[in-house]
Amino acid sequence: MAITINGTTGISGVDGSAGTPAVQGTDSNTGVFFPAADTIAFAEGGAEVMRIDSSGNVGIGTTSPISKLEVKAAGFVAASISSDSTSETQLRFYTNTAARISQQANQALIFDTNATERMRIDSSGNVGIGTSSPQGKFNVGGGRSVFGANSETYSIGVGYTQARVNSGQTYYIGATDSATPDLVFSNAAGTERMRLDTSGNLLFNSGYGSVATAYGCRAWVNFNGTGTVAIRASGNVSSITDVGTGQYTVNFTTAMPDVNYSAQVNARVAGVITTGVAAYDVTNTTSALFVVTYSTTTAVDCTYVNVAIFR
Amino acid sequence: MTQRIIYPTQDGGVAIIIPTGELPLEEVARKDVPAGVQFKIVDTTEVPEDRTFRSAWEADFSNPSGHGVGHDAWFAEQAAKEEV
């Protein structure tokens, strides 16, 4: 070794190697050496364990760090931030643009607490909480999910952030469990309050005493059949056709699925209940219903005519 | 709705359609007037209030507003639109 010691360069003149570091203590194969120009390396037991290369990149377990800090090992490797007090440990970014935690390989990015996986973003970009195999863009498994609205008007929104592809674009909320594909709504205690089953039946308890299928009124209309015939209120009815005295056609805005619907009709004149009201022709399948109101055997205009269609 | 749609019936009478407002008036006319039958859109004031001789009502359809396509064709149109 040719060691130079002076007041300008300090101790210089020897590069050393991993086996024989230029700067060492009493252990001859552990210390600092200089493997290349502008490069500082550290050796333990005769092997390089860390270096700062000519670009200022720090490599631990690698002689060619690809970023400011690279930690590499042949097997398991971890970088730890530890605290032995009750203070938090944090990973902080200070930047004028976005910060990124990046998985560069075609593998999952996993987040743990209590040394147990809690969330992952798989290689396809699907996010899973409580599941290691998310089925879809966002999959929560293993327990309840709670969405707090705070001061917002709703806690879960379904939308599309970009321009619609077409006017018929539809948003869906649905059950994805193929074993029990019903969509169930419950209260905070988990008691079922409403269910949309896989067949499309809506079941709820609104004074029925139990959760049961609710068979809805598919169309209804309340109108005055006297004078200038006028509709008071209606639902799923585009119009009524005044065909003649006491005879009306109720035209549905949305057609019935078949002709097996139940037509309920009643009418009265000036407070007197009129008997003999009949659904005259309910065979006109999906579009219309003839209703004739009778008083005895004569068709008569009624002040109140009510029609309700159930299916 | 202050307007009505009228069309001639097969027995020589006049049918009056009272729209609910769920659909535009023109669509109601196309849908609820039988296929191929001409109709007129009139104001309610043009429809008699006295229905004593309802079966004897007549109307001039020489200058129609259009003609109906009927329920079946209209619903078929809507179904076709939904498929686009």
Of A97-106, A265-274, B62-71, the range with the lowest mean pLDDT is A265-274
Render pLDDT for A200-256 as a digit per residue (tens, 0 to 9). Answer: 888 888 777 777 877 778 999 999 999 999 999 999 999 999 988 888 899 999 998
Per-residue DSSP letters for A177-202? -SSS--EEEE-TT--EEEEE-TTS-E
CA distance to partner chain B, nearest, from residue A291 (Å): 14
Query: What distances in angstroms separate CA A73 from CA A38, A61, A62, A67, A170, one per listed residue?
Result: 24, 6, 8, 16, 50
User: What is the model's pLDDT at position A189?
Assistant: 82
User: And the tokens for A67?
Assistant: 């970023």
User: What is the model's pLDDT at position A129?
Assistant: 96
User: What is the model's pLDDT at position A211?
Assistant: 78
Render pLDDT for B18-38 as a digit per residue (tens, 0 to 9). Answer: 999 999 999 999 999 999 999
Question: A251 in contact with B at a CB cutoff of 8 Å?
Answer: yes
Considering the entire predicted model, what is its pTM?
0.57
Select the residue of A168, A221, A286 nearest B75 (Cβ to Cβ). A286
Select the residue of A229, A255, A286 nearest B18 (Cβ to Cβ). A229
Q: Please tell me which residue, A62 or A204, carries the higher pLDDT value.
A: A62
User: What is the model's pLDDT at position A271?
Assistant: 60
Which of the residues A220, A226, A242 would you substitute to probe the B interface, choosing the one with the greatest number of B C-beta atoms within 10 Å? A242
- Quick check: A195 and A183 in contact, CB under 8 A? yes
Question: B71 in contact with A at a CB cutoff of 8 Å?
Answer: yes
Question: A259 in contact with B at a CB cutoff of 8 Å?
Answer: no
Which candidate, A246, A221, A219, places its Cα nearest to that of A233? A221
Q: What angle is formed at CA A163 by the lines to CA A159 and CA A169, rounded to 5 degrees?
A: 60
User: What does the H/E/C string look like for B19-69?
Assistant: ECCCCCHHHHHHHHCCCCCEEEEEEHHHCCCCCCCHHHCCCCCCCCCEECC
Looking at beta carbons, which residues of chain B come within 8 Å of A230? 18
**CA A45, CA A25: separation in Å to the nearest integer?**
12
Question: A230 in contact with B at a CB cutoff of 8 Å?
Answer: yes
Q: How confident is the model at residue A259 (pLDDT cuts 50, 70, 90)?
A: confident
Q: Does the pLDDT of residue A282 top 70, yes or no? A: no
* Cross-chain Cβ contact B18/A243 below 8 Å: no
Which candidate, B46, B44, B19, B45, places its Cα nearest to that of B33? B19
Long-range CB contact pairs, A76-83, < 8 A, 24+: none
Question: B37 in contact with A at a CB cutoff of 8 Å?
Answer: no
**CA A42, CA A34: separation in Å to the nearest integer?**
9
If you count residue pairs, one on A and one on B, with CB atoms under 8 Å apart, how many are there? 80
CB atoms closer than 10 angstroms to residue A68: 9
Q: How confident is the model at residue B46 (pLDDT cuts 50, 70, 90)?
A: very high
User: What is the model's pLDDT at position A299?
Assistant: 77
Looking at beta carbons, which residues of chain B come within 8 Å of A238? 19-20, 22-23, 27-28, 31-32
Select the residue of A226, A231, A255 nearest B18 (Cβ to Cβ). A231
Of A186-200, B3-17, B21-35, the range with the lowest mean pLDDT is A186-200
User: What is the model's pLDDT at position A156?
Assistant: 78
Report ipTM (2 d.p.): 0.88
Looking at beta carbons, which residues of chain A come within 8 Å of B19? 238-239
CA distance to partner chain B, nearest, from residue A182 (Å): 26
**CA A165, CA A285: separation in Å to the nearest integer?**
35
